[in-house]
Structure 1
Amino acid sequence: MTLDQIRIFLCVAELRHVTRAAAQLNMTQSAVSSAIAALERQHGVRLFDRVGRGIALTQEGETFVPTARALLAQAETAALVLADLSVETRGSLRLFASQTVASYWLPPRLMRFHEMHPEVTLSLAVGNTAQAAAAVQEGTADLGFIEGDLPDSPLRRQVVARDELVLVLSRQHPAARQKAFTAQDYRRFTWLLREEGSGTRSVFEAHLAAMGLRAAELSVALDLPSNEAVLAGVGTGGAVAMLSHRAVPAARARGLAIRRVTWAQRPARPFAVLSHPERHRTRAAEALLEGIRAG
């Protein structure tokens, strides 16, 4: 088994198509097919079934995917360690950030880091808090940036900023001029919520609990996967939401009203960076963290 075979297997498994995988890997279709066939032959296992014009992972292939990902991540970490032995801060840094962090807080800090360390290649994936933690745990990200707490995790967590949620509603909403709200108001509203697993959702649910409420008691129109989607929905006038105060400029640009929570304990949260305690932290990662702490 070679790393090239693992890389080819994962690409085919992700795309479910040999031709598209070959194009993405800059290889011929026959070379990709040969690599998969050699891997299957060497280990006496069938990893893919042909289904019509496409292919599908067998049960054995599905089982092998997470191990293959972990193996490739370890190889990439080894390459980073070797690159880190040089005198200069260089190499690559794989980041995964939850959406609010990635949209409003992280970009200027990454630009400042790039200006100081142009030899470091940065890549950023965006998802929610749970996905960021999983990426760091699996080794597909060197650092993860999240909102809120991370229960029951072996990952190293360091707070790097503070945030809070605010109520967002259309200026045409019947409660737009209201300054304070009760639990009964919350039950009467139609809500747009961020998806399960997001830091915004977990902090909002903690805010509800402080008001003696649960999300199940609310009238929820939609769970949405991004702040922008929530803002667009609130802009139609019929629903309300709670989002980071860092999204306030975008909300005001859409003509929305903002209410900072004064009728209950402020729904505050930290922004934190995650790293794996058992993996090598490169010079590039240390430089980024130092820049964030200083800035």
Structure 2
Amino acid sequence: MSDFRLRVFCSVAQHLSFTKAASELFVSQPAVTKHIRELEQQYGTRLFERKGNSVVLTEAGEILKRYSSQILHLYQEAAFELGTLQDKHNGVLRLGASTTIGQYLIAPLLAKYYEKFPQVELSLLNGNTEMIENAVLSHHIDLGVVEGKKHQSGIKYVDFMDDELVAVVHVKSKLSTLNEISVQELAKIPLVLRERGSGTLEVIESALKEHNLKLSSLQIVMHLGGTESIKSFLEHSNCMAFLSIRSIQKELTTGQVKIIKINELQLLRKFWLIHLQGQPEPMAEAFMRFAFREYPKK
């Protein structure tokens, strides 16, 4: 069985659509139909039942679907090991990163990786921590980098690096006259926070519980889906936000934002490399080794 015909089958099986498979693989729909028909002729059985504009897997199709991911994994392992013999990496690596990491950490790492291994085809999915975990579980990506706590028993979490969230205001804000506040005073300050499902919000909520405070007791003006949106909002409002110290280095250097100390409230968290339980994909494992070389644990 050719590698590409199997990829065609897997794409149709995933989307249950010849049209979507054609779009994903950048081939024509007749070409997809031809590859599926050849597979059905080879095995002497139908793999899909056509129902109008949609398709469903037959019993034989379900069986092939179970084995297809294993077969493609073996193709990838073989390509990786053969490439290693020639001192080069070849293949496809599908990565995912939660929003903060994707914007401020993973991009420079990907640039360095590409410079060293230009033969590797890279893709990056961005979303909040919950979205990236679900993408790993559904096999849409090979490796993720997320923030916050461990959530899923089906995922292996590998400690990557430490991070800290800090309370930030814009220097033009009325709040910039503050230097430090108590946890109790925090409840009186208008806040703009990340959305539900983000690792940032989860860390804040967990830290507040230690002081018998709930998010509902705070003056939350708005939830926004990204750090850059929050920074822009702060510039035009008298609000405070909690952001990764890694995400505001440029603004601190240029004097655009100010960190406000909150007494007895320390917001520390982990960045995790995540993959499905068990041995990671060869390309993912190689990328992890590279990441640890670039960002060694201190």
SS of the counterpart of 1:141?
Answer: coil
Asked if 1:83 is matched to 2:83, the reply is: no
1:172 aligns with: 172
What amino acid sits opposite 1:82 in the alignment?
A
1:123 counterpart SS class:
strand
Q: Distance in 2 between matches of 1:32 and 1:212?
A: 58
- Equivalent positions of 1:1-295 (< 5 A) are 3-8=7-12, 10=14, 18=19, 22=22, 25-29=25-29, 42=46, 74=70, 76-86=72-82, 87=85, 88-90=87-89, 91-252=91-252, 256-259=256-259, 261-282=261-282, 284-295=283-294
Partner secondary structure for residue 181 of structure 2? coil
Residue 107 of structure 1 and its aligned partner are, at CA, apart by 2.1
Q: Distance in 1 between matches of 2:280 and 2:290?
A: 19
Which range moves more in the overlay, 93-102 or 76-85? 76-85
Say if 1:9 and 1:36, in contact at 8 Å, map to a contact too: no
Question: 1:170 Cα shift?
Answer: 2.2
| Contact 2:164 2:244 survives alignment (8 Å) | yes
CA contact (8 A) 2:183 2:264 kept: no
Report the secondary structure of 1:160's partner residue: strand
Once residues 238 and 72 of structure 2 are traced to their aligned partners in structure 1, the CA distance between those partners, rounded to angstroms, is 48
| Contact 1:73 1:139 (C-alpha < 8 Å) held by counterparts | no
Amino acid at match of 2:220: V
Residue 160 of structure 1, CA deviation: 1.6
Aligned-pair CA distance for 1:32: 6.0
**CA-based RMSD:** 3.5
1:10 deviates by: 4.4
Question: After superposition, what is the alpha-carbon deviation per residue over 1:241-282, rounded to whole angstroms, capped at 9, x for unaligned?
Answer: 101001113544886432254512320111111122334531
TM-score, scaled to structure 1: 0.77
Match of residue 54 from structure 1:
none
Q: In structure 2, the residue corresponding to 1:188 is in which secondary structure? A: coil
C-alpha distance in 1 between matches for 2:48 and 2:265: 61
Q: Residues of 2 paired with 1:146 and 1:71: CA distance?
A: 29
Structure 2 unpaired stretches of 5+: 58-62
Structure 1 residue ranges, 4+ long, deviating more than 3 angstroms after superposition: 8-13, 20-39, 41-47, 67-76, 250-256
Contact 1:231-1:251 at 8 Å conserved across structures: no
Distance 2:64 2:195 in 1: 29
Tell me, in whole angstroms, the C-alpha distance in 2 between the residues paired with 1:291 and 1:208. 36
Q: CA, structure 1 residues 12+99, in 2 after alignment: closer, same or farther (shift >3 Å)?
A: same
Inter-CA distance 253–223: structure 2 relative to 1 (3 Å threshold): farther
Once the two structures are TM-superposed, the CA of residue 219 in structure 1 deviates from its matched residue by 2.1
Shift of 1:85: 2.7
Measure, in 1, the Cα distance between the counterparts of 2:222 and 2:114: 38
AA partner of residue 7 (structure 1): S
* Local SS of the residue matching 1:269: strand
Question: Quick one: distance in 1 between partners of 2:263 and 2:207?
Answer: 11
Identical pairs, percent:
24
Residue 163 of structure 1 and its aligned partner are, at CA, apart by 0.6
Greater shift after overlay, 1-10 or 155-164?
1-10
Which ranges in structure 1 are unaligned for 5 or more consecutive residues? 51-56, 62-66
